[in-house]
């Protein structure tokens, strides 16, 4: 919540929108309502205007209670907003220096409420970026519709395909692994068709015949068949060591190209190649298990309809795992655990049956716990839009400022630090160097170097003298 006693310190940004609203509810607030709901949430301030220097100033609303009543009437009208995601406490009348304003806290919509659109037309679906509200593309709209479904995306029965799209060697390898991990499982005696039906890899179509499910196709299909259903499908693993790059690519033609085989090809490479510090080798199994969990999470949470494909990159002291699609729950909730909502629930269940991945929501907290126990820099989860993408960075580097400072030439670390400053200054009106140094876990001199780079890129501005200097996002 904003500190309304210091409203002038704030600027409009991707989570704050100000409107004078002296003539009633401006129609443009509905685009912002949709945009906030479909992105990260935000605050609508009515009775607030921008000064010439972009700072915010309250102006006294003549009848804020009437504005509140008008807002509630319209937000509950399906012809105005597709869904009301607010509770009574989200809309309040506040006093700022004797001037009354209306504060509307629009939360991030749950996935089953998205897409939130306005004026009775799904084409009026908006999202929020650093430059304001924008109308969603058809691709973004369809992605939200897919995520809103109660049934997992990958349960869809693909009636234009038959079981011959499955790679027989992949199915056999899966059954062997399941027999090893669950030797007494009652499915072991089933013939392939019945086994795959119970697993969820096959489903019964409207014609009464067995057809692959989306999960089955992704898990066991051949790449040339997978791309028929998922044109943007791509799995890419790269090892980048100086000038040497090695690659595992789903479209190479040298292997099946499916998710099951990719997981074990990549995990085996990571496990054999992790040149961990001595302390990590002593507790190697927890580290290996955390990497294993991260890889499985990346695969089962990917939106395979999305652009960009799935990419795993192994650097000398870092692994990045990036997949199309955003988190379906708040990142904070994912870190705390106890909540799990994989995009591809059937695929997740298939991995669980061979003891890969967690269904209890403990996977991500475990990754963070293992990294903390090793004394490494905290894993970084970053989300981007246009297109939606989630990236997890696992650095095998100490968390203390001295060690990080020695790696200041590493551009990937610099980018993460800059993104952390941008995110912090989005939530805070402004901050001083010691505060930002604490956020980054680095020395004050290193924090100043990051801030200097952001100033050069015209993203951050500095205000005040050297002792009392503060930093804020450029409006």
* Burial (0-12, 13-18, 19+ Cβ within 10 Å), 131: exposed
pLDDT score at 15: 87
216-255 pLDDT, tens digit each: 999 999 999 999 999 999 999 998 866 677 899 999 999 9
C-alpha to C-alpha distance for 293 and 249, rounded to whole angstroms: 21
Position 129 pLDDT exceeds 90: no
Position 406 pLDDT exceeds 80: no
Position 279 pLDDT exceeds 50: no
110-123 pLDDT, tens digit each: 889 999 999 999 99
- In Å, the largest CA–CA distance within the chain is 77
Cα–Cα–Cα angle for 354, 314, 273, nearest 5°? 65
Helices 444-456, 433-440: crossing angle, 10 deg rounding: 100
Mean pLDDT of all residues in 352-372: 83
pLDDT score at 21: 94
CB of 273 closer than 8 Å to CB of 265: no
pLDDT tier at 201, thresholds 50, 70, 90: very high
267-278 pLDDT, tens digit each: 999 987 665 544
C-alpha to C-alpha distance for 309 and 322, rounded to whole angstroms: 8
Provide the whole-model pTM.
0.69
Residue 125 β-bridge partners: 117
CB of 301 closer than 8 Å to CB of 276: no
Residue 393 β-bridge partners: 320, 380
pLDDT score at 409: 43
Q: What percent of the chain is modeled with pLDDT above 70?
A: 91
C-alpha to C-alpha distance for 451 and 448, rounded to whole angstroms: 5
C-alpha to C-alpha distance for 30 and 33, rounded to whole angstroms: 5
C-alpha to C-alpha distance for 25 and 29, rounded to whole angstroms: 8
| Summary mean pLDDT of the chain | 88
Joined tokens for residue 102 = 């209306």
Tally of residues, the chain: 475
Mean pLDDT of all residues in 450-458: 85
Distances 281 to 276, 314, 473 between C-alpha atoms, Å: 6, 18, 42
Which ranges in 322-443 belong to alpha helices (H)? Answer: 331-336, 345-352, 363-374, 401-406, 411-427, 433-440
Q: Which residue has the tokens 């009574």?
A: 88
Position 84 pLDDT exceeds 70: yes
Residue 271 CB coordination number (10 Å): 13
Position 280 pLDDT exceeds 50: no
Position 333 pLDDT exceeds 80: no
* CA dihedral over 262, 267, 272, 276, signed as positive or negative: positive
C-alpha to C-alpha distance for 119 and 101, rounded to whole angstroms: 25
């Amino acid at each position: 919540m904003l500190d309304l006693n210091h409203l002038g310190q704030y600027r409009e940004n991707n989570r704050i929108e100000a409107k004078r609203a002296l003539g009633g509810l401006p129609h443009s607030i509905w685009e912002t309502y949709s945009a906030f709901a479909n992105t990260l949430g935000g605050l609508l301030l009515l009775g607030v205007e921008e000064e010439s220097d972009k700072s915010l100033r309250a102006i006294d609303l003549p009848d804020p209670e009437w504005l509140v009543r008008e807002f509630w009437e319209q937000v509950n009208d399906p012809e105005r907003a597709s869904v009301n995601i607010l509770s009574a406490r989200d809309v309040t009348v506040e006093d700022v220096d004797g001037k009354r304003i209306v504060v509307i806290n629009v939360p991030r919509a749950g996935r089953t409420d998205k897409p939130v659109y306005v004026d009775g037309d799904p084409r009026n679906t908006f999202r929020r970026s650093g430059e304001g509200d924008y109308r969603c593309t058809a691709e973004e709209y369809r992605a939200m519709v897919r995520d809103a479904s109660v049934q997992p995306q990958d349960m869809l029965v693909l009636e234009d395909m038959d079981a011959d799209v499955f790679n027989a060697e992949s199915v056999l390898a899966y059954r062997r692994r399941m027999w090893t991990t669950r030797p007494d499982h009652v499915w072991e005696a089933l013939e392939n068709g019945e086994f795959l039906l119970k697993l969820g890899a096959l489903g019964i179509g409207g014609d009464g015949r067995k057809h692959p499910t989306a999960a089955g196709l992704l898990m066991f299909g051949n790449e040339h068949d997978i791309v028929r259903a998922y044109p943007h499908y791509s799995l890419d693993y790269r090892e980048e060591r100086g000038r040497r790059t090695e690659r595992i690519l789903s479209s190479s033609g040298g292997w099946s190209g499916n998710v099951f085989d990719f997981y074990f090809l990549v995990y085996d490479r990571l496990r054999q190649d992790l040149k961990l510090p001595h302390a990590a080798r002593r507790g190697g199994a927890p580290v290996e298990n955390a990497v294993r969990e991260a890889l499985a999470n990346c695969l089962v949470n990917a939106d395979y309809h999305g652009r960009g494909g799935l990419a795993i990159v192994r650097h000398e002291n870092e692994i990045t795992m990036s997949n199309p699609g955003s988190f379906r729950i708040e990142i904070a909730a994912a870190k705390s655990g106890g909540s799990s909502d994989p995009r591809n629930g059937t695929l997740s269940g298939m991995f669980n049956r061979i003891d890969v991945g967690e269904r209890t929501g403990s996977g991500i907290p475990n990754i963070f716990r293992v990294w903390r126990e090793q004394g490494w820099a905290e894993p970084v989860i970053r989300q981007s839009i246009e297109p939606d993408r989630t990236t997890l960075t696992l650095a095998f580097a100490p968390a203390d400022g001295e060690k990080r400072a020695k790696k200041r030439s590493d551009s990937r670390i610099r980018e993460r630090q800059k993104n952390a400053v941008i995110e912090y200054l989005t939530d805070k009106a402004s901050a001083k160097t010691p505060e930002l140094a604490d956020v980054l876990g680095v020395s004050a001199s290193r924090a100043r170097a990051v801030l200097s780079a952001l100033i050069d890129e015209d993203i951050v501005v500095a205000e005040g003298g050297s002792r009392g200097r503060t930093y804020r996002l450029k409006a």
